[in-house]
Amino acid sequence: MFEILKHFETKYGSLKKKGLRIEGLSMIDPKRKKHVIMVSKPFMFDNRQLPKTYEGLDIKAKIEGDLPKEFAIKKDAPKKEYVWAPNKFEKYVDRCSEDIRKQFNNPAMTRNEMLDALAFGSFEDHKKKSLQLMKEGKIPPFKMN
């Protein structure tokens, strides 16, 4: 398993320049002995460059650092909010598209490309999954634009 981690580090180590930190292997389910590769990254990271799985291991990513104001959760709010609600990504991209283009060094980047880059690789997939989780009651309700 450490060989897989070494291969992953070799293949994706160049993303460290963009803020990726490869933390190592972690067991997330001791009963089934399920391991993942743990990484951390800044919010402003092009998630399309990182796979969801690598050689049979899921990639578990966490975000380090501050989040934009669109993603702030009011701690004293009476009802819970879903921090990764799709409309929050849309509001952020609409407000900061020029900054995002600069950060990703891509002046021709489209709104959809920005949404995909920030929303875990595919904005439409994230939106569908979020709506499904909301219908199942697993995440708090959110509004769509």
pLDDT tens for 36-66 read 999 999 999 999 999 999 999 999 999 999 9
Cα–Cα dist 34/27, whole Å = 6
At residue 16, the 3 state secondary structure works out as helix
Q: Residue 88's closest CA among 109, 77, 73?
A: 73
Residue 73's pLDDT is 81
pLDDT tens for 108-140 read 999 999 999 999 999 999 999 999 999 999 998
Domain boundaries, the chain: 2-64, 69-135
* Order of all β-strands in the sheet with 57-64: 21-29, 34-42, 57-64, 53-54
Q: What's the pTM?
A: 0.87
List b or e across 69-91, with b for residues whose CB sees 16 or more CB atoms inside 10 angstroms: ebbeeeeeeeeebbebbbebbbb
pLDDT tens for 99-108 read 999 999 999 9
